[in-house]
Amino acid sequence: MSSEIAQSNEYQSFRSSVSQRKFVVDEDESKEWKVYDAGPRSVKCPLICFPPASGTADVFFRQILALTAVGQMLALTAVGYRVISVEYPTYWKIVEFCEGFRRLIDHLQLDKVHLFGASLGGFLAQKFAEYTYRSPRVASLILCNSFYDTTIFNQTNSAPTFWMMPSLVLKKMVMGNFDKGPVDPSICDSIDFLVEKLDGLTQAELASRLTLNCMNCYVEPQKIQQIPITIMDVFDDCALSHSVREELYKCYPEAKRAHLKSGGNFPYLSRCDEVDIFIKIHLQPFDNKKYSAKEYVKTEED
């Protein structure tokens, strides 16, 4: 049975109005990026969203709808942000992911990009910024419920064996982090939606994501501290401990902090209005400049 979010008019509107596109940028044609791209194509520095290990590209559908729409909530001269949400192919090494994503943004003819990464997505966003720091491709980072060192999961020794584990075992590993007691209905709905998305991932897709999530690897923050960063996290229970969050703060002492009183593991679904406001605040300094994620219509004064 579909989750309430999947059955909602909002989600159905998204699926009918934003088409999923697929791109192969590697020599291996089985490595297929799934992409939702909305907003003005003239914007060459969009916001790109990286999902968590359990998520697909459409988990950010509420951000796409809210940030790319032209409406009363936006300034009269604005035509909206360009927001792209991606779903990763099967990569087993961080460097392969970084090379693949670099080829994807080259294929899309993008200059620099703003990255919003959730959990594993936030870790991969940091690693990509680090990977390209000599020739920067990342204009800014938003790290949501994320981390900088995979050893926090205490599975670095078993990570090399994930590729041969059954899907059921891998799903149990992920779902063990989802629910930590009574939560409000919107958080329950977000969990149900992610569980549904988790069921749609193949064994190889899930195994590769968990491998990237747990193999012994860490970010070198000194290489990316010059990039504007917002750290977004929740004050209620989520998969990451308080100490893990504190370590991320220490890595980026100059980063802005966006705290939500609650929201669980997936606040971009359960607390989308707050998350969208924080994204706009983060992107605002770039508005009407070279690396703006939003296009402006010229007025008579320009």
Lowest-confidence region among 54-63, 117-126, 135-144, 178-187: 178-187
User: What's the pLDDT at 213?
Assistant: 94
Cα angle for residues 7, 8, 9 (degrees, 5° grid): 120
pTM of the model: 0.93
Q: Give the model's pLDDT for residue 71.
A: 40
Q: Reduce the DSSP state of residue 197 to 3 states and report it.
A: helix
Residue 180 lies in a domain: yes
pLDDT of residue 1: 62
What's the domain count of the chain?
Answer: 1
196 pLDDT more than 90: yes
Q: Are 48 and 191 in contact, with CB atoms under 8 Å apart? A: no
The pLDDT of residue 49 is above 70: yes
Q: Given a cut of 60, is residue 208 above it in pLDDT?
A: yes
User: What is the chain's mean pLDDT, rounded?
Assistant: 91
Query: Is 292 a member of any domain?
Result: no
């897709």: which residue's tokens? 205
**245 falls within a domain:** yes
pLDDT reported for residue 247 = 94
Q: How confident is the model at residue 181 (pLDDT cuts 50, 70, 90)?
A: low
The answer to the question of residue 300 being in a domain is no
Asked if the model's pLDDT at residue 25 lies above 90, the reply is yes
User: What is the Rg, in whole angstroms, of the alpha carbon atoms belonging to the chain?
Assistant: 18
Q: Which residue has the tokens 């220490």?
A: 250
pLDDT of residue 297: 57
Give domain status of residue 277, yes or no.
yes
Read off the pLDDT of each residue in 19-40 and give the average, rounded to a whole number.
96
Q: In the block, which residue shows the tokens 């891998």?
A: 170
Q: Is the pLDDT of residue 186 over 70?
A: yes
- List all residues 6 or more positions away from 194 whose beta carbon is below 8 Å from its beta carbon: 52, 54, 55, 59, 178, 265, 266, 269
Return the number of other C-beta atoms located less than 10 Å from residue 164's C-beta: 8
- Average pLDDT of span 162-185: 83
Percent of the chain at pLDDT exceeding 70: 93
Instruction: Tell me, yes or no, whether 296 lies in a domain.
Output: no
Instruction: Please give the structure tokens belonging to residue 48.
Output: 């790109």
Q: What is the pLDDT of residue 298?
A: 58
List the CATH number of the domain containing 202.
Answer: 3.40.50.1820
Q: Model confidence over 103-149: pLDDT tens digits?
A: 999 999 999 999 999 999 999 999 999 999 999 999 999 999 999 99
pLDDT, tens digit (0-9, with 9 covering 90-100), for 72-89: 344 444 459 999 999 999
Indicate the pLDDT class of residue 2, thresholds 50, 70 and 90. Answer: confident
Residue 16's alpha-carbon distances to 37, 65, 137, in angstroms, are 13, 12, 31
Q: pLDDT value at position 232?
A: 97
55 pLDDT above the threshold of 70: yes
Give residue 217's pLDDT: 96
Cα–Cα nearest to 240, from 158, 157, 153, 301 = 153
In a domain, 302, yes or no: no
Check whether 97 has a pLDDT greater than 90: yes
| Cα→Cα distances 15→21, 195, 272, Å | 12, 19, 18
The confidence band for 6, taking pLDDT boundaries of 50, 70 and 90, is very high
Q: In this structure, is residue 297 part of a structural domain?
A: no
In terms of residue numbers, what domain contains 231?
Answer: 4-286
Give the per-residue pLDDT at 157.
85
